[in-house]
Amino acid sequence: MNITVIGTGYVGLVSGVCYAELGHQVYCVDKDAEKIELLLSGGIPIYEPGLGEMSCTNMEAGRLRFTTDLSGAVADAELVIIAVGTPSLPSGEADLRFVDAAVREIGAAMNGYKVVCVKSTVPVGTNDRVRELLSELYEGPFDIASLPEFLREGTAIRDTLAPDRIIIGTDSQRASKLLSGLHEPLNTRILITDIRSAEMIKYASNAFLATKISFINEIANICEKVKADVTEVAKGMGLDTRIGPSFLGAGIGYGGSCFPKDTTALIQIAGNVHYDFKLLKSVVEVNKEQRYSVISKLHQALGSLEGRTIALWGLAFKPETDDVREAPALEIVDRLIQLGATPKVYDPVAMDNFRRLRNHPGIQWCSSALEAAKDSDALCLLTEWRQFKEINLAEVKAAMSGTVLIDGRNAFSEQQVSGLGFGYYPVGRPS
Ligand code: UGA
């Protein structure tokens, strides 16, 4: 199949590369000429394990092309996938500027029947708006479909090639047949729905996962007070197949470009139809506060933080990504600086991205985990990178001047830390 993907952000790039991997002829289009140059030279603008290699293999095989020429790429395509960004407006609503712009350009380039589908996360009703806009620009036949994306950063290829399910929202049999056929080789459940339900499934799924995280974080906070162990609680809960074990990892809250954006967008979508989504508002509130549990624990251990040196391990919003958008580390660093402490930070891949958002002279940038720990009064693990979990903690303790270890992601076991002389503060577990 000839497929054109518009937008080479996370969703667009991974989808384009994976469709090529499945044997299709794929054009990935972006307005950003520098990005396209980088992709054509075999580079990758994001950190995603395995993506660079897969992109090169498919380019060499002649199945994957990168271009800034949208109309040329659309002309050849049977399927056009819109995967441009939908950032948040100050109100929390999704900004559809890039979707509209893409649709206008697609409309101008249409030259025959095509299925145009939206993979970007868009408010309910957006596909109808796409249909209207396109029919103003092109009089011939076309179909619209919503094809929401469920990939996670860090495991994007696996999630795309071995997904739990594919959701196709369309009112056209022809589009449904084309999209079902495209995803058949993935051997997964395919659910065909109406367009608006497909749009809603995306928001509802992310909001539900965010709810699980905020729920377990509140349980963790209570566990700390009643001396129970949240990891045991989560394990016990997760054995109930109605609950399931995933997304019950207590920590310092969710970040990233999806959960924060999509939860506020869904609150806004509900608000637009005069529905007060109270539960989701609390989920967001709990998540905002949870990151500051690191600061409370530091106060508890050290008293005033003025003049203290605090090592921070991990700046990315989760491991296996260089993405720092909405990462808890951003506000933790801000608060430490406000309180007169010196953050010494280290992340295996996210240092440059973090520096772009927080280039404060009070931050000490380190080139290894051990260097960050050296002479610090306390060490806080904010992202559970494997290299931190596997580090020799005795060596770390010897390098520090203090003894406080705040484990914001329950990355260490009691066994690993016991006997080393740390004052150990995990999340929702007895310390
Ligand atoms: C999330 C969803 O998981 C994907 O299904 C979805 O496609 C994507 O958003 C999107 O909308 O594009 P992602 O943001 O890449 O994916 O990352 P997740 O692995 O879901 O983690 C999100 C945050 O939740 C991270 O900060 C992580 O540390 C946190 N988390 C996750 C927890 O605190 N506890 C958990 O048990 C799981």
What integer is the mean pLDDT of 392-416? 97
> For the chain, what is the mean pLDDT?
96
Residue 91 has pLDDT above 90, yes or no: no
Pocket of ligand 1 (CB under 6 A): 121, 149-153, 206, 209, 213, 247-249, 251, 254-256, 258-259, 262, 317-318
- 3-class DSSP assignment, residue 339: coil
- 3-class DSSP assignment, residue 375: coil
Pick the residue whose CA is nearest to atom 19 on ligand 1.
152
What integer is the mean pLDDT of 187-201? 97
Helix axes 259-272, 195-226, angle to 10 degrees: 120
What integer is the mean pLDDT of 258-278? 95
- The span from the CA of 73 to the CA of 31, in Å, is 13
- Ligand 1 pocket test, pick from 46, 147, 151, 205 with the greatest ligand atom count within 8 Å of Cβ, gives 151
User: How far does residue 164's CA lie from ligand 1's centre (Å)?
Assistant: 15
CA angle 48, 49, 54 (to 5 degrees): 95
* Annotated catalytic residue, options 28, 117, 223, 258: 258
What integer is the mean pLDDT of 249-265? 96
Provide the pLDDT confidence category of residue 430 given band limits of 50, 70 and 90.
confident
**Of ligand 1's atoms, which has the minimum distance to the CA of residue 253?**
33
Which two three-digit tokens encode residue 379?
Answer: 């060490």
- Say if residues 116 and 144 touch (Cβ distance below 8 Å): yes
What integer is the mean pLDDT of 401-428? 97
Pick the residue whose CA is nearest to atom 6 on ligand 1.
150
Short-list 51, 306, 235, 257, CA closest to 158: 51
Pick the residue whose CA is nearest to atom 24 on ligand 1.
254
What integer is the mean pLDDT of 247-255? 98
Which two three-digit tokens encode residue 194?
Answer: 């109406």
User: How far does residue 422's CA lie from ligand 1's centre (Å)?
Assistant: 30
What integer is the mean pLDDT of 227-240? 98
Cα-Cα-Cα-Cα dihedral sign, residues 321, 255, 333, 227? negative
Give residue-wise pLDDT tens across range 342-375.
Answer: 999 999 999 999 999 999 999 999 999 999 999 9
Pick the residue whose CA is nearest to atom 5 on ligand 1.
150
Answer yes or no: is the ipTM higher than 0.90. Answer: yes
- Say if residues 188 and 157 touch (Cβ distance below 8 Å): no
Residue 209 has pLDDT above 90, yes or no: yes
Give residue-wise pLDDT tens across range 52-89.
Answer: 999 999 999 999 999 999 999 999 899 999 999 998 89
What integer is the mean pLDDT of 192-218? 98
Provide the pLDDT confidence category of residue 94 given band limits of 50, 70 and 90.
confident
**Of ligand 1's atoms, which has the minimum distance to the CA of residue 205?**
5
Structural domains of the chain, ranges and CATH numbers in brackets: 2-193 (3.40.50.720), 202-288 (1.10.1040.10), 291-425 (3.40.50.720)
Stated pTM of the model: 0.95
User: How far does residue 112's CA lie from ligand 1's centre (Å)?
Assistant: 39
The amino acid occupying position 248 is: L
Which two three-digit tokens encode residue 334?
Answer: 């801000």
- 3-class DSSP assignment, residue 419: coil
Provide the pLDDT confidence category of residue 431 given band limits of 50, 70 and 90.
confident
Pick the residue whose CA is nearest to atom 30 on ligand 1.
254
Convert the chain into a string of H (helix), E (strand) and C (coil): CEEEEECCCHHHHHHHHHHHHCCCEEEEECCCHHHHHHHHCCCCCCCCCCHHHHHHHHHHCCCEEEECCHHHHHHHCCEEEECCCCCECCCCCECCHHHHHHHHHHHHHCCCCCEEEECCCCCCCHHHHHHHHHHHHCCCCCEEEECCCCCCCCCHHHHHHCCCEEEEEECCHHHHHHHHHHHHHHCCEEEEECHHHHHHHHHHHHHHHHHHHHHHHHHHHHHHHHCCCHHHHHHHHHCCCCCCCCCCCCCCCCCCCCHHHHHHHHHHHHHHCCCCCHHHHHHHHHHHHHCCHHHHHHHHHHCCCCCCEEEEECCCCCCCCCCCCCCHHHHHHHHHHHCCCEEEEECCCCHHHHHHHCCCCCCEECCCHHHHHCCCCEEEECCCCHHHHCCCHHHHHHHCCCCEEEECCCCCCHHHHCCCCCEEECCCCCC
Catalytic annotation on 117? no
